[in-house]
A and B are shown apart, each in its own frame.
Chain A
Amino acid sequence: MRRKFSRVAVLVLACSLLLSTGCWDQKDVGNLAVLKIVTTDLITENGSDKWKVGALVMNPAGKKGGGDQAATEKPSMPEIPWIGTGLTMEEAVLDFANRSPRFPFFSHTNVIIMGERAAKERTKDIIEFFERFREARPTSFVMVTKGEAYNLTEMEPEVARTISEETNEMAERTVQPLGLSVGTPLAEFSAYLVSLDRDAVASRIKLVYPPEQRGEKRAGPAKSVIVEGLAVFSSGKLAGWFDREQTLGYMFITEKNTGEIRINMERNDKPFTYILTRSKPKIESKLVGDKLEVTLRINAEGSVYEASGLNLDADGIKEVEGIASQRIKGIVQNTVNKAQVYKSDCLGFTQNLHRWHVADWKRIKDNWRETFVTADVHIEVNAEVSDTGKLGEKF
């Protein structure tokens, strides 16, 4: 019996192994063009709408980028841009893939960038395509840019080895602790996109032109990118943008923040910076009559280092705490107003109502966005200064 068992076990394992190698689907790494960043745009060409898909493709080591290799020791560009157009996204991919002897491969796509027009008109189509697509990964970050996204294929990394790594790391690690934006992975973005009680947001990516010079030459790349701000969606379409401060408000309302979020404040016309280390929101939505009433409590904790002459004794800290609370309240209020203008409940007020007051939710189910627009939002902020650094007294 033992022998029989081991024979079956070996056979089972052998056959699984056979399948794991891929049979007809075997793909050699050398045969793949790995698309690290994909941009999608909707353009009008000769009067008809077309897709313009751009990609940054991993450039295998050893192949030099054309141009001035002799002049400088500069390494070749590790990622090369490709752009194609077509009536469908797939055709557009083929339009650049046919120039290459390698198959386009999406399993390593870190970032999916949508152009402004594409996001306004066809977000759901784009996201559905990537959700259906076998190779696409739910961890890819979705981003939106103002104007055309394919322009971004020109960008170059400043610190990381490749631009895709740089954007990916920004979205995953730095934007949130710095309070610039939030990273929105594909899975999370699509969950809110199809959600019945909440609207989606996506991080905004934009081109910057680093000015640093070293003598005559530029010290860094000519074009780089930053991830800052948010694109706000309403019923699955791009409705508008949150600038940096509104994004901060969004983060105060929806996330538990930890990090070093710097917020400028003023006391007697003198600016100082409050470094927020921790904040936690609490939303309570209820329906009064037909009006949505939201109570928003935010507890924040932070420190002040750059005091600009403030006297940080016990009374001074009390005062600073008051100023910080007022300032954060203002930021949050601004975000709420803007979201109501965009008719986009990306702040989760209706979601909260849905979760805790089902009967009320059913009453406004059909026109919940209108209800959100007229919502009364009461904001209470309690900001604390927990430390003032290594100095006990001011200079």
Chain B
Amino acid sequence: MFIASTAVLIVPVITTTEAKQSAWIVTFTFPVIFGYMVLWTVYKLGNRFPGLSIVQYSEIILGTFVGKTLGVLIALFWLFMNILVIEEYTDFLRITTLPLTPTSVLTTIIVLLSLYGARQGLEVIARSAQFTLPLFLLIFFVGLILTIPRLNLGWLLPVFEDGVIPVIRGSVVPSTWYGQVVVLVMLLPLVNKPVETKRKGVIVFAAVALFLTIDIVFVIATFGPELTSKLMFPLWSMFKYAGYRDFIQRLEVLGVFIWFTGIIIKTTTLDYLICQTTAQVLGLKDYRSVLYVLAFIQIPGSLIFFTNSIALKEFLGTYWPPIAILFELGIPIFLLIIAVIRKKRTGAVK
């Protein structure tokens, strides 16, 4: 859910721009491998330091000062990611349904809601995810089924037109989405049964890969690779296109509704992570005190960084992946290697 909520909207564009009609192959190959690498690293680290989060064990591995600096950087990464998510969504709303509503209002609503959720703690977030996931799936599949008459599977040919290279290039951006599983570096200590995380993670990857693959296959088969790469939100356009004769039409508003709940869960999780990270770096007793500060950063932050959707799209496609890959895979692997070399561990050897 965390990964899919924003990915279904934007990924098809970015991947089809690179990989054209082979884009659907992208989602279940390289990004999954990337995501699994992240998961594996995170899991190994968690095994070495049971009950500790990345902030705490990076202090053990690298010493207090460097460890804390890293903690600050990680908090900033999450803050920035959150701002991007908020920005993506307000953009989406502005283009599709609410062009006249001031962006600041939309931003404020999302931020306040997610901060409230974050205040309630992790379990509440998880439960609301459980609650909305079936709705999300239901609407998604209703949309897909109603699109079936419009499909033209010929659009998916030829496969691998320009070889494998464009497919790999198209993988970079989705990889960063799969890599978001890195949130586990903070959450792992809080999970009931950490041992099961790896198996569950694999299931999640399989589900998300399937989800995104279906998404891209449908979008390309509906609009063709050329038009898909030009559209801003292909899935939304596809929902507009879906329908049966005159009496089932205009599903896109349902889509907006359900994506909105998805986004709230995502920003809530991120808010929670930022607060936890900051609190742990600063040694605060209660992470909630950070929440209030956060509101004052996020609302102006998302309003200032990007003023139009094209800039955001460009940023997500070109500048964001290196940063994301660094934080998602680079830092955990780096920590793991150092930990192995310096033989630091707190848990029992398994």
Contact = CB atoms under 8 A, between A and B. Distances in A.
A355 to B, nearest CB: 4
A11 B116 contact: yes
Given A138-B241, A191-B223, A356-B158, A19 B230 contact: no
Interface string B154-168: 110110010000000
B98 A19 contact: yes
Contact of B158 (A9, A185, A196, A354): A354
A20 B101 contact: no
A7 to B, nearest CB: 8
A87 interface: no
Contact of A12 (B128, B161, B226, B240): B128
30 contacts: A1-B124, A5-B127, A8-B117, A9-B128, A12-B261, A12-B264, A16-B257, A16-B261, A18-B109, A19-B109, A20-B253, A25-B97, A25-B99, A25-B100, A131-B230, A134-B95, A138-B237, A138-B240, A138-B241, A139-B240, A139-B241, A187-B241, A191-B224, A191-B226, A192-B224, A194-B226, A194-B227, A195-B224, A354-B157, A358-B161
Given A19-B98, A25-B97, A355 B223 contact: no
Given A8-B117, A16-B257, A16-B260, A356 B124 contact: no
B132 to A, nearest CB: 8
A355 B154 contact: yes
Given A25-B100, A137-B240, A5 B124 contact: yes
Interface in A113-148: 131, 134, 137-139
Chain B: interface secondary structure? helix
Interface string A372-392: 000000000000000000000
Given A24-B102, A138-B237, A358-B161, A8 B124 contact: yes
B69 interface: no
Given A139-B243, A195-B224, A356 B120 contact: no
Contacts of A131: 230-231
Contacts of B154: 351, 355
Interface in A1-36: 1, 4-5, 7-9, 11-12, 15-16, 18-20, 22-25
B280 interface: no
A190 interface: yes
Nearest to A193: B227
Q: Could you say which interface size class chain B belongs to?
A: 35 or more
B256 to A, nearest CB: 8
Contacts of B319: none
Contacts of A23: 98, 101, 105
Contacts of B98: 19, 22-25
A171 to B, nearest CB: 13
A134 to B, nearest CB: 6
A185 B150 CA distance: 10
Interface string B218-250: 000011101100110000010011010000010
B172 to A, nearest CB: 24
A355 B158 contact: yes
B124 A4 contact: yes
A12 B223 CA distance: 33
Given A8-B128, A356-B158, A134 B120 contact: no
B346 interface: no
Nearest to A195: B226
A24 B116 CA distance: 24
Contacts of B256: 20
Contacts of B314: none
Interface string A351-366: 1001110100000000
Nearest to A22: B98
Contacts of A15: 109, 113
B236 to A, nearest CB: 10
A65 B117 CA distance: 56
Closest 4 CB pairs of A and B: A355-B157, A191-B224, A24-B101, A23-B101
Contacts of B249: 139
B83 to A, nearest CB: 20
Interface in B68-114: 93, 95-102, 105-106, 109, 113
B139 to A, nearest CB: 13
Contacts of A134: 95-97, 99
Contacts of B222: 187
Nearest to B128: A8
Contacts of A24: 98, 100-102, 105
Contacts of B158: 354-356, 358
B230 A20 contact: no
Interface string B8-51: 00000000000000000000000000000000000000000000
B296 interface: no
Contacts of A139: 240-241, 243, 249
A23 B98 CA distance: 8
Contacts of B102: 24
A201 to B, nearest CB: 15
Contacts of B150: 187
A365 to B, nearest CB: 11
